[in-house]
Amino acid sequence: MRTQQVYFLFSLLLITITSAAGGLTPAKSQPLPGGYTPINNISDPHVIEVARFAVEEHNKQDDAHLLKFLRILKGWSQVVAGINYRLIIAAKPINCNGKVYHYEAIVYERPWQHFMNLTSFELIK
Ligand SMILES: *[C@@H]1O[C@H](CO)[C@@H](O)[C@H](O)[C@H]1NC(C)=O
Ligand SMILES: *[C@@H]1O[C@H](CO)[C@@H](O)[C@H](O)[C@H]1NC(C)=O
């Protein structure tokens, strides 16, 4: 009798703990909103397309400092209502002889609408 009560209390406790934990931690199968995760393959043609878009957009917005895209050095992505890409890009100003600079670009994409927007593009010092 006493043992059964202990078991009952213990299982109640377990249920409480698991439901509390379930309320606090997002389900494993869902993407974690708010977090950037590293892009494993920065040679992925779509990721390169995003980086090229970032440099082209930068060139449209700042035509006094035109850049030529060279390569992606590093990248992260974030699933929102769409995807944010954060890419470290090597590019060189087309009017200077050869010096390569690194830039951090953030591009927002809604793939199902073929929509991309350059959120920010900054020189890394
Ligand atoms: C990365 O993507 C490129 C282009 O799709 C592919 O050729 C290459 O094998 C991939 N590398 C890895 C490590 O998956
Ligand atoms: C693109 O991003 C910039 C910077 O965040 C923002 O000001 C602008 O409204 C965005 N444009 C569109 C069409 O969403």
pLDDT band at 97 (very low <50, low <70, confident <90, very high): confident
Q: What is the pLDDT of residue 85?
A: 97
Cβ of 61 closer than 6 Å to ligand 1, yes or no, is no
pLDDT of residue 51 exceeding 90, the answer is: yes
- C-alpha of residue 120 to centroid of ligand 2, in Å: 9
Looking at residue 34, its pLDDT comes to 64
What are the respective helix, strand and coil percentages of the chain, to the nearest 5? Answer: 35, 40, 30
Q: What pTM, to 2 d.p., does this model score?
A: 0.69
DSSP H or E stretch at residue 49: helix 45-61
